[in-house]
């Protein structure tokens, strides 16, 4: 009991209460949140001078994109062909293929649900740029996913390089050729 304790006159069911001030930490926090909310409002748009959290988010994203450029826009056939001759890229492509493509195209590219990738017949064209386009954008109506949305550009390139390297190989259970024969 301190000097502050001042009994309030009312009494309910034999219970009485003191009229004590709130503890200092509580009052400080209380005023602190009020002051903070004022400063906060000043800083956020559209009420205050700040840009607002959506603009802040966009700015952060733009900065991130700037720091992480992608090479997706430029699909250069020569660069892809160079990748197809790069042993390390082919190794990576092989892993990507085993993980993402083998279920539909067979572990050796011989074809299951998806077409045979080892022959020289192509539904969507047999140049490396056309293969890149199919892998990147998919053929959604026919069940070929758009890998450009799920893999990084470098991974798509590696998968395409690997598909390119499969041509002329002999799969265990080749699916009959589909599409038009393309002379390489």
Smaller CB separation from ligand HEC, 50 or 125: 125
Q: CB under 6 A: which stretch of 15-23, 63-71, 96-104, 166-174 binds ligand HEC?
A: 96-104
3-state secondary structure 11-36: CECCECCECCCCCHHHHHHHHHHHHH
Quick one: which of 44, 75, 123, 129 contacts ligand HEC (CB under 6 A)?
A: 123
Q: Taking CB under 6 A as the rule, which mask of x and - marks residues 150-179 in contact with ligand HEC? A: ---------x---x--------------xx
DSSP string computed for 45-99: TTTSSS--HHHHHHHHHHHHHHHS---TT---HHHHHHHHT-HHHHHHHHHHIII
Structure tokens belonging to residue 77: 């056939």
Smaller CB separation from ligand HEC, 42 or 139: 139
Binding site for ligand HEC (CB under 6 A): 100-101, 103-105, 113-115, 117, 122-124, 131, 134-135, 139, 142-145, 147, 159, 163, 178-179
């Amino acid at each position: 009991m301190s000097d502050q304790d001042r009994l309030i006159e009312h009494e309910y069911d034999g219970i009485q209460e003191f009229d004590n001030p709130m503890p200092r930490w509580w009052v400080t926090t209380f005023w602190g949140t009020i002051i903070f909310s004022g400063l906060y409002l000043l800083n956020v748009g559209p009420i205050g001078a700040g840009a607002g959290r959506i603009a802040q988010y966009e700015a952060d994203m733009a900065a991130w994109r700037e720091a992480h450029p992608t090479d997706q826009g430029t699909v250069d056939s020569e660069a892809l062909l160079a990748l197809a001759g790069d042993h390390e890229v082919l190794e990576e492509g092989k892993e990507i293929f085993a993980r993402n493509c083998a279920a539909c195209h067979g572990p050796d590219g011989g074809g299951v649900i998806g077409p045979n990738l080892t022959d020289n017949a192509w539904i969507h064209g047999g140049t490396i740029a056309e293969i890149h386009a199919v892998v990147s954008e998919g053929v959604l109506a026919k069940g070929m996913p758009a890998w450009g949305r799920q893999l990084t550009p470098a991974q798509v390139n590696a998968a395409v390089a690997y598909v390119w390297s499969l041509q002329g190989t002999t799969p265990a259970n080749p699916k009959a050729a589909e599409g038009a024969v393309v002379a390489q």
